[in-house]
Amino acid sequence: MVEPTAQQVKEEKLYLQMGMTDEEFALAEKMLGRTPNYTETGIFSAMWSEHCSYKSSTPVLKRFPTKGPRVLQGPGEGAGIVDIGDNQAAVFKMESHNSPSAIEPFIGAATGAGGILRDVFSMGARPVALVNSLRFGDLTDARDRFLFKEAVAGIAHYGNVIGIPTIAGEAQFDQSYSHRPLVNAMAVGLLNHEDIQKGVASGVGNTVIYAGAKTGRDGIHGATMSSAEVTIEEEEELPIMQGGDPYLEKLVMEACLELVHYDSLIGIQDMGAAGLTSSAAEMASKAGYGVELNLDLVPQREEGMTAYEMMLSESQERMLIVVKEGHEQEVIDLFDKYGIEACAIGKVTDDKMLRLLHKGEVVAEIKADDLAEDNPVYHKESKEPAYFAEYQAMDNVAPEVKDVKQTALDLLQRPTIASKAWVYNQFDSEARGNTVVAPGSSAGIIRVEGTNKGLAMTSDCNSRYIYLDPETGGKIAVSEAARNLVCSGAEPIAITDCLNFGSPDKPEVFWQLEQSADGISAACLALDTPVIGGNVSLSNEVNGQSVKPTPTIGMVGLVNDLSEVTSSTAQQAGDAIYVIGEALPEFGGSELQQMLEGDIRGRAPQLDLDVEKKRQNQVLQAIREGVVASATDVSEGGLAVALFETVFGETVFGLDVTLRGEAVTALFSETQSRFVLTVREENRQAFEAIVEDAVHVGTVTAQEVSIKGEDGDVWIAGTASEFHDAWKGALECLLNSED
Amino acid sequence: MKIAKVYVTLRESVVDPEGTAAKEALHKMGYNEVQNARFGRLIELELDGSAEDVEARVDAMCKDLLINRVIEDYRFDIEEA
Amino acid sequence: MKVAILNFPGTSCETEVERLFQTIVKAEPTIIWHADATSLEAYDAVVIPNGAVYGNYLRPGALAKSSPATKALQTFAQAGKPVVGLGNGFQVLVEIGLLPGAFLQNPSLTFQSGKAALRVNRKTKFTSQYREEVITLPYAQQFATYYNDTPIAKEQIVMTFENNMFNSTQSIAALTNEGGNVCGIIALPERATEAVIGGTDGLPFFESILNNWSEQ
C-alpha cells in the first residue's frame, strides 16, 4: 500500500476514518502551520481520542475533589498515590477494557489487567493486588454467558501467571450490558516515598530507551476504537486485537522495579493506549522538553512496518524509559538479565517537539504540548432526560409479593446476588502470601509487607440507581464502597473511578455523566476520600442503545492493625444480630423490582451523607474497640439478603430474628446507610453505647432460620442449608444452562 | 531450510477433558457422528538444514523437551521449506 | 540451615518463602536467580517456589530444563540433601526428572483455588512434625492433576487429597522420590504458616525439613 499524501488526507477527508472531525483536522492544520501528513494525522487522532485526551469528559472531571492530606499524586500520572504512613504509599488506578472485551473477551479482559498493572509499576510501585468490576447481560443469552466465562478466564489467566493476587471485585448483571460488557480492572501497588517515579523525558541529550515486546501491527487505533460503539453486524471487520503475554510482563515488571533504584533513571511510562505516540508525547510534554525518535531502531515483530503503524500500534508489554546520557548500557544489561530486549531509540531535545525519523527522513514533527496538553475540549450539550421527572414524581410503594419465602430464595439466586465463588475460585487470591481477606467478603485486605497494617479495597457501583437518579446514585456508589471498607475494619482513604457511559453526544447521557459526577464529588467530600485517578470510557453502546450509566468506584482503605480486621460473616451461634438503619418503602431500581417487573422505574433510594458518615464512624469505632464479631452492609436484595449473607460464611449458621414494620419493606427494600452486625453477648452493652442507631433484632443460630414480624407472623422459615444451597450454586447453574 | 511438524497428542490412557467437552458440544450442535475427540498440539520447527541426521535430532528434541512421555505421544514429519 | 530459594523466570512466590524461613521457622534463606545457580553446594536445602515458571509455556515446569540451575539441582539431590517443589515447583521437579509422573490440566479446564483437606503420611522426612492426620492447605493451580501409570509406593506418598477433586493418580497431593529427600507438593503449605494469613497447617511441613536435616 502506498501511503496517502498530506493533500489526499485533506481532500479525501481520510482523517474521518481515524475518528477526527473536520474541525479537529482544521485545528491540527492551524497548530502545525501546514497540512499534517498521514502519520501526523494518525498521531493527532489517537492523542485527541476520548481515551487519551478526555476531551468530552474533562469539564466533568474537574468537578472531582482531588486533594487531601494523604494525596501524594492526584490524577494525571499513570496512577494516583496516597500516603499510608511509615514512609510508604499506596498506588492505584482503575481502567476499562470494555470494547476489546466485547469482541474477544479472553484477550480483552486479560490485557486490561496487564495494562493497569503497568500503570502501577511504572510509578515505581510493586503491584500487590488486583480488583475487578464486571458488568454483563443477565446470562439468559448464550453470547453473554460466553463473554462472561471468557472474560473471567482472561482476567484469571493474566493475574495468575504474573503472580499478583486478585483479592476483591464484584459482578452485576443487567440486560443493558448484553453484548456490551464492562470489564474494569484495578491494580494496587506499594512503594516507599523516595521511589516514586514519573513519566517524564527531561534533560537535553538524555536517551530514550524502548524496552519490552517488539512492536507489531496489533491494536492499531485501539485508542480510537475504545471510544467507539459496537455494532454487532460489523464484528468481522474489527481491527486486530492486541494479545497479552503475562509472562513477558512479569519479566518487564521485575526489571522495571529494579530500574527504579538506578540513579540514572529519569522517567518511565507504559506504552498503553496509542502506544509509542502517547508515551513519547506525554513524557516530553510533562517535562517541558522535546523527544526525537529514530523509528528504524524500534524493535519490530513484522516486516515493512510504516511510521504510522509503529506509532499507533498497541502491542502489549512495552515501556518507554528515559535515562541519563551515557548510562544506556547498564539499563540494557538489566533488561537482558530477564531476557527482555531494550535499546536506545532516541533522545531528549530542548525544542519541545515530538520528532520522528524513519529511513533518513523526518516523518512527523509536532509540538508535544499540542498533542498532550492542548487537545480540543468539548462542553457537550446536557439535557435532563424526560424519564427523570416522570420517575421522580412516582410514589414509593412496596410491590406486591405473594410468597415471601420463595421471593427470598429467588433473590438469593439472582446472578447479581448469588455467590461469586465460581468467579473468584478461578483467581489465585493469595499469591505472595499477604492476603488477609480473600474475595467473597465486603472488601479484600492485603497485609502491607513488613508491617501489621493492611490495605483494604473494594469496587462498587449500582447502575440502576444511577440511571434513575444519577446524582443520588453517584453518592450511593461512593458510600457503598466506603461502607464495605468500614465493615472490614478499614478507614477509607481515596478512590479511583472508571466512568463507563454511553455516547457523550447524546445530551441525556452527558447529563447522567455530569449528575453522577456531582453525586460522587459530594460523597467524596463528605467521606474524606479524594479522587486520585481514573479512567473514562464513553460510547458504550450496542446498536445505538447505551449501557446503564456505570461510574465504577474503586476505593482503598487503611487498616491500622490487622487485629482489627473484621469478618463479613457471623462467627458463632448465640451471637446477637443488630441492624443499623430503618427500612423505608424504597424499591426504585431494586433487585426485587427488576425481578418482579423485568425493568426498573421510580425514585432511587435516598441518601443523607451526614447520616451515612455518622453511622460509618460509629461502626468503625465499634470495630476498633473490638466489640463487633462481623459486619456487612445492606445492598442489593435488601435486609433479607444481608441477613443471609451474614450467616453464609465458612461455617453456615442459621438465624432467628424479629423485624419491625411491613414484611416486603422490612425484608427487601434497598434503603441506604444500613448495616447488619453480629456481636458477642458479653460485648453488647459496650457496642450499644457506641452505635446509637443499632437495633437488636435476634440471634445467630446453629441451623434453623426464622424471620418473623413483630406481631409474631413467620415470614421466612427453613434450614440454613436450603437457602445457602440456592445462593451458592445459582451462578454456575445459570452459566451451564443451554437455552 | 526444512520444517519439522511435530504432532503431540495425549496418550490413549490419559483422560482428555477438553476433548470430551468438545465432543459433547458437537453432539449438542447436531454433529452426532463424532465418536471421540482428542486434543493435541502442533509444533512447527524451522530448521536451518545444517544437521545431517535431521530425523534423529528432531526425535531427540521431542524426547528431551517437547513432549512428556508419561502423558503424551508424538509423531513428526519433515518437509522441505 | 542455609536454604536456597531458586528463582526461575516467572517464579512469583519467592518472597513468601523467604519471609517464612527468615521469621517463622528460622533458617538462612537466600533467593538465587536461576542463571546464577550453577552450583548449589553451599546450601543445605533448596526450595522451588510457586509461580508460573517460564509462563507455564509448553507444559508447566518443562522449560526449566533449559536452565543451568537444573544440572546443579540434580547434583544437589543426588547428594541426598532436601529439595522441595511448592505448587508449580512440583511440576518443575517432575519435568526435570527428579520426581516421577506428570501433570495434567484440572478436570474443570480452569484455574482453581481454594482450601483442601489433605491426609498426611507422617512417616516421611517432610511430615514428621505433623500431629494431625488430616490438615487443610490452600491450593491455586490450573494443572493440579497428578498422573502416573506406574503406581507410587506408599512410603513415597506424602499427602493425598481427602476428596480427590483433581482426579489425581492415587489422590496424590505430595510425594517424594525413592530416596525420600526430594518432595513435591501441589498444595501450598507456605501460605498456611501464620494465623493471620491462612492458618498454620503448613508450618509442620517446614519444621520437619529443619528437624530432619539441619543436624547433617
* pLDDT given at position A536: 92
Identify all chain B residues contacting C108, using CB atoms and an 8 Å cutoff.
17
Structural domain that includes position B35: 2-80
For residues A415, A420, A422, A427, the Cα torsion angle rounded to the nearest 10 degrees is: 140
Contact call for residues A161 and A247 (beta carbons, < 8 A) = yes
Nearest partner of A721 among A738, A699, A702, A735, judged by Cα: A702
CA-angle at A112, arms to A234 and A559, nearest 5°? 145
CA C122 to chain B, closest CA, distance in angstroms equals 28
pLDDT tens for each residue of A401-437: 999 999 999 999 999 999 999 999 999 999 999 999 9
C101–B66 CB contact, under 8 Å = no
Q: Distance (Å, rounded) from C-alpha C69 to C-alpha C57?
A: 18
> From residue A262, how far is each of A206, A351, A550 by CA, in Å?
15, 27, 41
CA C150 to chain A, closest CA, distance in angstroms equals 31
Q: Does A164 touch chain C (CB under 8 A)?
A: yes
List binding-site positions of A for Mg(2+): 95, 119, 270, 535
Single-letter amino acid, residue A50? E
A430–C191 CB contact, under 8 Å = yes
Q: Does B21 touch chain C (CB under 8 A)?
A: yes
> Using CB atoms, which residue from A153, A161, A338 is nearest to C52?
A161
CA A640 to chain centre: 28
* pLDDT given at position A228: 53
Nearest partner of A471 among A45, A60, A51, A24, judged by Cα: A60
Contact call for residues C206 and C21 (beta carbons, < 8 A) = yes
Single-letter amino acid, residue B65? L
Q: Does A156 touch chain C (CB under 8 A)?
A: yes
Q: At what angle do helices A105-121 and A246-259 cross, to 10 degrees?
A: 10
CA B24 to chain C, closest CA, distance in angstroms equals 14
Helix or strand (DSSP H, E) at A142 = helix A142-162
Q: Which residues does residue A633 pair with via DSSP β-bridges, in sequence order?
A: A675
Identify all chain B residues contacting C147, using CB atoms and an 8 Å cutoff.
14, 70-71
CA B16 to chain C, closest CA, distance in angstroms equals 8
Q: Domain holding B72: CATH number?
A: 3.30.1280.10
> Using CB atoms, which residue from C62, C65, C104 is nearest to B14?
C104
Give the start-to-end residue ranges of the domains of chain C. Answer: 2-213
A160–C111 CB contact, under 8 Å = yes
Q: What's the helix, strand, coil split of chain B in %, to 5?
A: 30, 30, 35
> From residue A247, how far is each of A120, A275, A331, C32 by CA, in Å?
17, 20, 20, 19
Q: Distance (Å, rounded) from C-alpha A284 to C-alpha A324?
A: 15
Q: Which residues does residue A91 pair with via DSSP β-bridges, in sequence order?
A: A81, A189
DSSP A401: -
C55–A248 CB contact, under 8 Å = yes
Identify all chain C residues contacting A488, using CB atoms and an 8 Å cutoff.
none
C58–B66 CB contact, under 8 Å = yes
- According to DSSP, the β-strands at C102-104 and C145-147 are antiparallel
Q: Which CATH architecture has domain C2-213?
A: 3-Layer(aba) Sandwich (3.40)
Q: Distance (Å, rounded) from C-alpha A358 to C-alpha A28?
A: 22
Q: Distance (Å, rounded) from C-alpha C39 to C-alpha A505?
A: 65
User: How many interface pairs between A and C have CB atoms less than 8 angstroms apart?
Assistant: 95
Contact call for residues A351 and A279 (beta carbons, < 8 A) = no
**DSSP one-letter string for A146-211:** HHHHHHHHHHHHHHHHHT--EEEEEEEE-GGGTTS-EEEEEEEEEEEGGG-------STTPEEEEE
Residue A227 has a CB neighbour count (10 Å cut-off) of 23
A427–C110 CB contact, under 8 Å = no
Residue of A nearest to C51 (CA): A163
A607 three-class SS:
coil
Residue of C nearest to B72 (CA): C102
Residue of B nearest to C104 (CA): B71
Q: Distance (Å, rounded) from C-alpha A190 to C-alpha A168?
A: 17
Single-letter amino acid, residue A330? E
Q: At what angle do helices A404-412 and A720-735 cross, to 10 degrees?
A: 50
Q: Tell me which residues of chain C, numbers 57 to 86, contact chain B at a CB-CB cutoff of 8 Å.
A: 58-59, 62-63, 65-66
* pLDDT given at position B29: 87
Contact call for residues A557 and A484 (beta carbons, < 8 A) = no
DSSP A399: P
Q: Tell which of A249, A340, A432 to mutate to test the C interface (max C CBs under 10 Å).
A: A432
Is the alpha carbon torsion for A232, A233, A234, A240 positive or negative? positive
Nearest partner of B17 among C195, C105, C117, judged by Cα: C105
Residue of B nearest to C91 (CA): B68
Identify all chain C residues contacting A430, using CB atoms and an 8 Å cutoff.
113, 138, 140, 188, 191, 197-198
Classify residue A680 by burial, with Cβ atoms within 10 Å: 0-12, 13-18, 19+: middle
Helix or strand (DSSP H, E) at A214 = none
State the total domains in chain B: 1
| Distant-in-sequence, close-in-space partners of A395: CB < 8 Å, separation ≥ 6 | none
pTM: 0.94
Q: Which residues of chain A have a pLDDT value below 70?
A: 1, 219, 221-242, 739
List binding-site positions of A: 54, 93, 95, 118-119, 242, 270, 314-316, 497, 534-535, 537
Active site residues of A: 51, 97
pLDDT tens for each residue of A458-474: 999 999 999 999 999 99
Identify all chain C residues contacting A162, using CB atoms and an 8 Å cutoff.
12, 52
Contact call for residues A190 and A448 (beta carbons, < 8 A) = yes
Residue of C nearest to A248 (CA): C55
A601 three-class SS:
coil
- According to DSSP, the β-strands at A71-73 and A126-136 are unpaired
CA C16 to chain A, closest CA, distance in angstroms equals 5
C65–B65 CB contact, under 8 Å = yes
Report the Cα–Cα distance between both ends of chain C, in Å, rounded.
9
Q: Distance (Å, rounded) from C-alpha A485 to C-alpha A496?
A: 14
pLDDT tens for each residue of B30-57: 999 999 999 999 999 999 978 889 999 9
Series of mean pLDDT values for 10-residue runs along chain C (216 residues): 97 96 95 96 97 95 94 96 98 97 95 97 97 97 96 97 97 98 98 92 97 79
CB-side neighbour CA atoms (13 Å) of A583: 25
C197–A153 CB contact, under 8 Å = no
